[in-house]
Amino acid sequence: MASSDEHQQHEAHSEDSALISPLHEDDIIIDEASGVAIRVPPTYEDERIQIPDDEGTSFSWRKLWAFCGPGFLMSIAFLDPGNIESDLQCGTIVSYKLLWVLLIATILGLLMQRLSARLGVVSGLHMAELCYRHYQKLPRILLWLMMEIAIIGSDMQEVIGTAIAIFLLSNTKVPLWGGVLITILDTFTFLFIDNYGLRKLESFFILLISIMTVTFGFEYGTSQPDTADVLKGLFYPWCSNCDQRALLQAVGIIGAIIMPHNFYLHSALVKSRDVDRSRSEKVREANFYYFIECSVAIFVSLIINIFVLAVFAHGLYLKTNKEVHDSCANYTSINASVFPSTGEAANQLVDADLYNGGIFLGCTYGVAAMYIWAVGLLAAGQSSTMTGTYAGQFVMEGFLNLHWAKWKRVLFTRSIAIVPTFCVAFFTTIERLTSFNDILNVLMSVQLPFATIPLIAFTSSSKIMGEFANGLANKIMSIALSLFIIAINVYFVIVAIRDYNFAWPLLVLIGSIAFFYILFCLYLTVHMMVCMGNTRLLEVDWLRRYVLGPVDSHTIMHN
C-alpha cells in the first residue's frame, strides 16, 4: 500500500497524467487505474540528492551543481572504446572531412537524451518501468531481450578496449586473453566504489572523464593538427572525393554515438534528485538544469572525440605501413611488427585500430605517447563498463519487475561478455579482436528502434507526460531523427552482410529474421501512434486487444 505522502502527490496530478512518484526500498506502486502492482527495488536513485531552494533567482549555480552527475554518467556512452576506434578509423581513412558528421551525430544524441531525461523527471519512472506498464507481455519480453543484447554487446567492446589497454601498458607482457580475464576485477571495483555513496560515485566517473580529456588532449597537443583543417572539417558539411569507405565511416560514427540502452539508463539516472513532481514549476526547473548539465557533459565528450579523430587524421591519413614501420626504428622496445615493412602489405595504407593506433603514437611522438594513449583507453573501458552495469540493472528490474543484487547483475553481464571475447583473444590475433568491434557496432545498430520508438511514444503521451508531452514540432523532429538514424543503420547492416558473402541458407535465415524484425518495428510504431493520440486506430478491435498494454487498455475502457 502506498504511503500517505505518495498518495497526496498522486492526487496533486490530474487523472490523465497518471504520474507516480518513485518510492524507496520494498515499497509497492499500485496504479489506481489498472491495478498493476510494481515493486520498486533499491537502485541508483534510492539516495536522493536534495535540491537547494533558491527562490527569486532566475538561475542558480547551487541548483545546477545539485543536478550535476547523471548527464556525465550518461555521456560515458559517447566515449566508450567503440567510439574511440570509430574516431581513429575515420581520421585515418578520410582525414578531417567527416568531423561535421561527428558534430551532427552528437547534437542528435543530445536531443534524444533530452527526451530521455524529461521522461524520467516528469513521470517518475524510467523507460523500462514504463515498458512494463504500457506493453503486453510478449513485446515487453522481446524488448528486454533486445536491450540485453545491446548491453552485452557494449560490454564486450569495453572488455576489448580494456584488454588492449593492458596489452599496451604491459608492452605485450600480459597477453590479450590475460587482459580479458583481468577485466573480471572490474566487478569488484564497481561494487567497492558503489558502496561509498552517490556523490562519490559520480565524482569517480567525472575523474575518469577528466583522465580521458587530459590523455587524449595530450596526444592532440603533441601531434598539433592544423586548427584551420579541424574547423573546416567541423563546419563544412561536405566530403569531396569520398568513396563508399567514407560513407561507411560516417554511418559508423552515428551508430557508435547513439546507443540504444543509453536512453533507458539516462531516464533512470535522473530519478536520483529529489524533485517535487506535484509542482509543475519544479519539474520545469529540473528539466532546465538537467538539459544544461547534459549539454555540458556531451560537449566534453565531443571535444574528446575531436581530439582522437584529429590526431589520427593528422598522423595516419594516406600513410603506408612501411612509412610507419620506418618511424619505429628509434624505438626498439615498441612492437613495430603490426606495420609490415616487406611484401605487398608494406605499401598498403594503414588499417588503424585501437592497438596499432597506440603503436603509431609511440613511434611518432615517443614511447610516453603510447602509454598515455593506453591510460586514456583504460579509463574509457573502465567507465563504460560501470555505466553498462547500471543500464543492465535498470533494464532487468524495469522490464521483469525483478531485482538482483548488484554483484549478481555485474557477474551475469560480464560473464556473457567475457566468454566469446576470451575465445577470440585466445585463438586469434589482435587484428581479429579489434575487428570484432565492427561486428558489435552492427549488432547494436539494429537495436536502435527498440529504444527510440518507445522513447518517442512515452514522451508524446499526455497520459504519461501531462503538460510536458511533446508538441507537434518535437514529435516531427524526433520521428524524423529516428527514421534518419534507423535508415543509415539499416544501410550499415546491409553493407556488412553483403561484404561477408554468406551462403544462401544463411541468407534465408537472415531474411526471415529481418522480416520479423520489421514486423516488430511496425508493431511498436502502431503503439507509438496510439500514444500520440491517434484515436482512429482504437476503433480496430484487434489493435485494442493486442497492441495496448495493461495501463492503456484500462484507460481506454473507462473513457
User: What pLDDT digit, counting tens, does each position of 252-290 carry?
Assistant: 788 788 888 899 999 999 999 989 888 899 999 999 999
Return the top range by mean pLDDT from 51-55, 120-124, 240-244. Answer: 120-124
pLDDT of residue 14: 37
Q: Tell me what the mean pLDDT of segment 492-517 comes to.
A: 79
Cβ neighbourhood burial of 191 (10 Å; 0-12, 13-18, 19+): middle
Task: Judge whether 474 and 461 are in contact, CB under 8 Å.
Answer: no
The full 3-state SS of 163-194, as one line of letters, equals HHHHHHHCCCCCCHHHHHHHHHHHHHHHHHHH
Tens-digit pLDDT profile for residues 209-229: 999 999 999 999 999 999 999
Q: pTM for the whole thing? A: 0.86
pLDDT at 18 over 60: no
Q: Tell me what the mean pLDDT of segment 52-80 comes to.
A: 87
Q: Tell me what the mean pLDDT of segment 481-506 comes to.
A: 75
- Report how far residue 224's alpha carbon sits from residue 307's, in angstroms, rounded to the nearest whole number: 10
Q: Which three cell numbers stand for residue 393?
A: 540493472
pLDDT band at 32 (very low <50, low <70, confident <90, very high): very low
pLDDT of residue 3: 45
Give the Å distances, CA to CA, from 515 to 394, 452, 520.
29, 19, 9
Tens-digit pLDDT profile for residues 189-199: 777 777 777 88
Tens-digit pLDDT profile for residues 83-137: 999 999 999 999 999 999 999 999 989 999 999 999 999 999 999 999 999 998 8
Tens-digit pLDDT profile for residues 316-368: 999 999 999 999 988 888 888 889 988 888 999 998 999 999 999 999 999 99
pLDDT at 43 over 70: no
pLDDT of residue 78: 93
pLDDT at 492 over 90: no
pLDDT of residue 325: 92
- Give the least confident one: 134-143, 238-247, 524-533: 238-247
The mean predicted confidence, pLDDT, of the chain is 82
Q: Which residue has the higher pLDDT, 18 or 289?
A: 289
H/E run at residue 241: none
Q: What percentage of the chain reaches a pLDDT higher than 70?
A: 85
DSSP labels, 307-362 = HHHHHHHHHHTT-BHHHHHHHTTT-TTS-GGGS--SSGGGGSBP---HHHHHHHHH
Q: Tell me what the mean pLDDT of segment 233-246 comes to.
A: 87
pLDDT of residue 118: 95
In three-state secondary structure terms, 38 is strand
pLDDT of residue 378: 93
Q: Which residue has the higher pLDDT, 92 or 539?
A: 92
pLDDT of residue 255: 75
Query: Please, what is the angle between helix 137-169 and helix 127-134, to 10°?
Result: 160
Q: Tell me what the mean pLDDT of segment 129-155 comes to.
A: 90
pLDDT of residue 254: 80
**133 DSSP β-pair partners:** none
pLDDT of residue 74: 93
Q: What is the DSSP letter of 57?
A: -
Query: Please, what is the angle between helix 406-427 and helix 430-445, to 10°?
Result: 130
- Report how far residue 147's alpha carbon sits from residue 132's, in angstroms, rounded to the nearest whole number: 14
In three-state secondary structure terms, 384 is helix
pLDDT of residue 35: 55
pLDDT of residue 6: 42
Return the top range by mean pLDDT from 291-295, 400-404, 436-440. Answer: 291-295
Q: Which residue has the higher pLDDT, 487 or 461?
A: 461
DSSP labels, 406-472 = HHHHHHHHHHHHHHHHHHHHHHS-HHHHHHHHHHHHHHHHTTTHHHHHHHHHHHT-HHHHGGGS--H
Q: Which residue has the higher pLDDT, 476 or 389?
A: 476
Q: Which three cell numbers stand for residue 314?
A: 593528422
Nearest CA among 21, 44, 31, 19 for reference residue 394: 44
Task: Judge whether 116 and 257 are in contact, CB under 8 Å.
Answer: no
Q: Tell me what the mean pLDDT of segment 391-404 comes to.
A: 83
Nearest CA among 418, 365, 358 for reference residue 172: 358
pLDDT band at 46 (very low <50, low <70, confident <90, very high): low
pLDDT at 5 over 50: no
- Report how far residue 362's alpha carbon sits from residue 372's, in angstroms, rounded to the nearest whole number: 9
Q: Tell me what the mean pLDDT of segment 65-85 comes to.
A: 92
pLDDT of residue 549: 66
